[in-house]
Amino acid sequence: MYARRRHVYFAMMGTCIVLFVLAWGVVRIWSVPAAVGLCVVAMLIPPLAAIVANRRGPEDRWWDDPSGDTKSDEWWDELDGRKRRR
């Protein structure tokens, strides 16, 4: 899952860079408003890419899930003031 999210993130950020380069390297020659529009679209991509990259998948371990290491889980539960279910 992590690899797929990483690939999507880099594809989105690559698209962002391509839009900026195209906007000010090519499109501005014919239409400055169109180039500004491409930059506005490119400006919206990085926050969406960060959301996609940091989204938790259904099989991803969450911060308070048991890790499977009983010694470590007992230690963290003791720090958190929780009792282990047995």
3-state secondary structure of 69: coil
Provide the whole-model pTM. Answer: 0.64
* Domain boundaries, given as residue ranges, for the chain: 2-60
Distance separating alpha carbons of residues 43 and 49, to the nearest angstrom:
11
pLDDT tens-digit map of 41-67 = 999 999 999 998 888 776 666 666 667
Q: Higher model confidence: residue 40 or residue 62?
A: 40
Q: Which amino acid is at 73?
A: D
pLDDT tens-digit map of 1-37 = 678 888 999 999 999 999 999 999 999 999 999 999 9
CA 72, distance to chain mean position in Å, is 28
Q: Is 80 exceeded by the pLDDT of residue 40?
A: yes
Buried (b) or exposed (e) across 40-58, using 16+ Cβ within 10 A? eebeebeeebeeeeeeeee
Structural element, H or E, at residue 35: helix 32-54
